[in-house]
């Protein structure tokens, strides 16, 4: 680490030129290819919907693959383009660990939306308001 | 304090004398701002997911977003939004190259790549303006209170409902109105993202002017370009998830 100026302590400078540009080009190609695969899967879902009896499990699987590919894209953008991968481990952890909250955040709220739909479709919202105040046992059995 | 402990203090990580994260204050705070902004966008997208999961019917994005400028009524699902995605990825790449040129104090390189980044951001905003206009003004015939009406997609009306049995006189299926939340979430979240792109373009223009004036050469470093770059990449990162949630799945 150079200490040219005491007010700016130890900012590192990226070494060399060529290999960095090569890494950028490689990451660009990876991001483009992932996007093309996502689009291909998107079109796959579109044409599956057009068939008379589309398999819900297959569509869900394809959507899952698209989600994983998007997370991979996020990893490359943050790790390479934003250079988070080059930072000190402690710094990376102060960014990444709070983001783990998203695991609960996504699971809890999508679950809540699903339960809302169940109530909408069963006794919860379809009965008159006077009957809603009764404790409804079947709803507690479900997930 | 003996003199021996002074030498020890210098080697410890958190006792001063060195930057523990080896990063400039402004850049660290930009990271924490972006982390909080990720939670803002995350909360919006998750609330969209909650509402979508609670509905029995949700419009198919391939039916809604199937237009392309100057292509008339051709059915081109995913085409325009793919173009927007690639514009943003390319502008992210030019931003990395600007940051890279900044590391080498290459003023001409920074200017060149910043201009391309700004062009990419402006192109993206233009695409978004076209898409919004198309969605708001594009009329579709739907059955509304027992009458056939032509409405566009706004935050209060949604023509993308389920198809009814039977056909209209011109052979098109008759449909009902769809969930109102569709327009609200689409315009709300893409609008909030578009606002980020817009402010990113403004920040990039300011960085370009400062580079042209030689401000960073006088400072001896191009760290401001890095911080603007972090913000710009974050905008691209958010688009990955907006693209995922609104168009792909």
SS3 for chain B, per residue? CCHHHHHHHHHCCCCCCCCCCCCCHHHHHHHHHHHHHHHHHHHHHHHHHHHHHHCCCCCCHHHHCCCCCCCCCCCCCCHHHHHHHHHHHHHHHHHHHHHHHHHCCCHHHHHHHHHHHHHHHHHHHHHHHHHHHHHHHCCEEEEECCEEEEECCCCCCCCCCCEEEEECCCCCEEEECCCCHHHHHHHHHHHHHHHHHHHHHHHHHHHHHHHHCCHHHHHCCCHHHHHHHHHHHHHHHHHHHHHHHHHHC
Measured between beta carbons, the chain B residues lying within 8 angstroms of A121 are 56
Residues A8 and A62 in one domain: yes
Residues A82 and A24 in one domain: yes
Supply the range of the domain harboring residue A49.
1-86
Residue B103 has pLDDT above 70, yes or no: yes
Residue A35 lies in a domain: yes
Please state the rounded mean pLDDT for residues A123-140.
50
User: What is the tens place of the pLDDT at every residue in A64-103?
Assistant: 999 999 999 999 999 999 999 889 999 999 999 999 999 9
Residue B47 has what pLDDT? 96
Residue A141 lies in a domain: no
**Chain B: closest CA distance from residue A5 (Å):** 10
Task: Quickly state the pLDDT bin for A3 (edges 50, 70, 90).
Answer: very low
Residue B217 has pLDDT above 90, yes or no: yes
User: What is the tens place of the pLDDT at every residue in B186-209?
Assistant: 999 999 999 999 999 999 999 999
Window 72-111 of B, Cβ < 8 Å to A: 77-78, 82, 85-86, 89, 92-93, 95-97, 100, 103-104
Residues A14 and A79 in one domain: yes
Residues A81 and A94 in one domain: no
Contact A113 B53 (CB under 8 A): yes
Mutate to test the interface with A, among B11, B14, B50 (most CBs of A within 10 A): B50
Query: Does residue B51 sit at the A interface (CB-CB below 8 Å)?
Result: yes
Residues A78 and A98 in one domain: no
Query: Does residue B229 sit at the A interface (CB-CB below 8 Å)?
Result: yes
Residue A8 has pLDDT above 90, yes or no: no
Residue B162 has what pLDDT? 83
Residue A133 lies in a domain: no
Residues A113 and A53 in one domain: no
A98-107, A132-141, B67-76, B162-171: the lowest-pLDDT one: A132-141
Residue B145 has what pLDDT? 80
Measured between beta carbons, the chain B residues lying within 8 angstroms of A30 are none
Residues A82 and A13 in one domain: yes
Residues A52 and A111 in one domain: no
Residues A81 and A96 in one domain: no
Q: Which CATH architecture has domain B21-132+183-248?
A: Up-down Bundle (1.20)
Measured between beta carbons, the chain A residues lying within 8 angstroms of B229 are 82
Residues A100 and A80 in one domain: no
Residue A131 has what pLDDT? 45
CA–CA dist B109, B231 (Å, integer): 20
Task: Quickly state the pLDDT bin for B43 (edges 50, 70, 90).
Answer: very high
Count: domains in chain A: 2
Residue B10 has what pLDDT? 54
Residues A74 and A9 in one domain: yes
Among A9, A95, A109, the residue with its CB nearest the CB of B19 is: A9
Residue A66 lies in a domain: yes
Query: Does residue B163 sit at the A interface (CB-CB below 8 Å)?
Result: no
Residue B2 has pLDDT above 60, yes or no: no
φ/ψ of B143, rounded to 5, equals: -85, 110
Residue B111 has what pLDDT? 97
Q: Within 13 A of B77's CA, how many CA atoms are on the CB side?
A: 19
Residue A132 lies in a domain: no
Residues A70 and A106 in one domain: no
In the structure encoding, which two tokens stand for residue A49, read together?
């919907």
Residue A12 has what pLDDT? 55
Task: Quickly state the pLDDT bin for B13 (edges 50, 70, 90).
Answer: confident
Residue A134 lies in a domain: no
Residue A104 lies in a domain: yes
């Amino acid at each position: 680490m150079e200490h040219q100026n005491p007010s700016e302590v130890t900012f590192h400078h990226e070494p060399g030129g060529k290999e960095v540009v090569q890494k950028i080009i490689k990451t660009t190609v990876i991001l483009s290819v992932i996007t093309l695969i996502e689009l291909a899967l998107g079109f796959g879902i579109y044409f599956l919907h057009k068939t008379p009896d589309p398999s819900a499990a297959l569509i869900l699987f394809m959507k899952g693959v698209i989600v994983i590919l998007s997370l991979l894209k996020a990893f490359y953008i943050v790790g390479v383009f934003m250079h988070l991968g080059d930072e000190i481990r402690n710094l990376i952890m102060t960014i990444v660990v709070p983001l783990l909250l998203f695991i609960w955040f996504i699971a809890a709220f999508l679950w809540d939306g699903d339960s809302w739909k169940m109530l909408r479709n069963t006794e919860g919202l379809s009965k008159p308001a006077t009957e809603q105040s009764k404790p409804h046992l079947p709803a507690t059995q479900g997930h | 304090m003996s003199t021996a402990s002074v030498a020890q203090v210098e080697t410890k990580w958190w006792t001063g004398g060195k930057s523990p994260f080896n990063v400039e204050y402004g850049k660290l705070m930009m990271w924490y701002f972006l982390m909080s902004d990720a939670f803002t966008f995350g909360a919006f997208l998750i609330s969209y997911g909650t509402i979508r999961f609670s509905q029995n019917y949700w419009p198919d994005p391939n039916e809604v977003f199937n237009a392309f400028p100057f292509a008339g009524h051709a059915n081109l699902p995913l085409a325009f939004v793919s173009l927007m995605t690639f514009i943003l990825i390319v502008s992210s790449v030019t931003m990395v190259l600007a940051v890279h040129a900044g590391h080498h104090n290459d003023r001409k390189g920074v200017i060149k790549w910043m201009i391309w980044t700004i062009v990419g951001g402006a192109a993206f905003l233009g695409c978004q303006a076209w898409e919004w206009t198309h969605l708001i003004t594009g009329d579709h015939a739907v059955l509304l209170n027992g009458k056939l009406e032509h409405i566009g997609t706004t935050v209060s009306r949604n023509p993308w409902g389920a198809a009814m049995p039977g056909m209209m006189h011109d052979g098109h299926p008759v449909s009902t109105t769809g969930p109102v939340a569709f327009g609200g979430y689409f315009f709300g979240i893409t609008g909030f993202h578009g606002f980020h792109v817009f402010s990113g373009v403004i920040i990039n223009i300011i960085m370009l002017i400062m580079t042209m004036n030689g401000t960073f050469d006088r400072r001896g470093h191009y760290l401001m370009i890095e911080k603007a770059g972090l913000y710009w990449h974050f905008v691209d990162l958010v688009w990955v998830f907006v693209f995922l949630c609104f168009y792909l799945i």
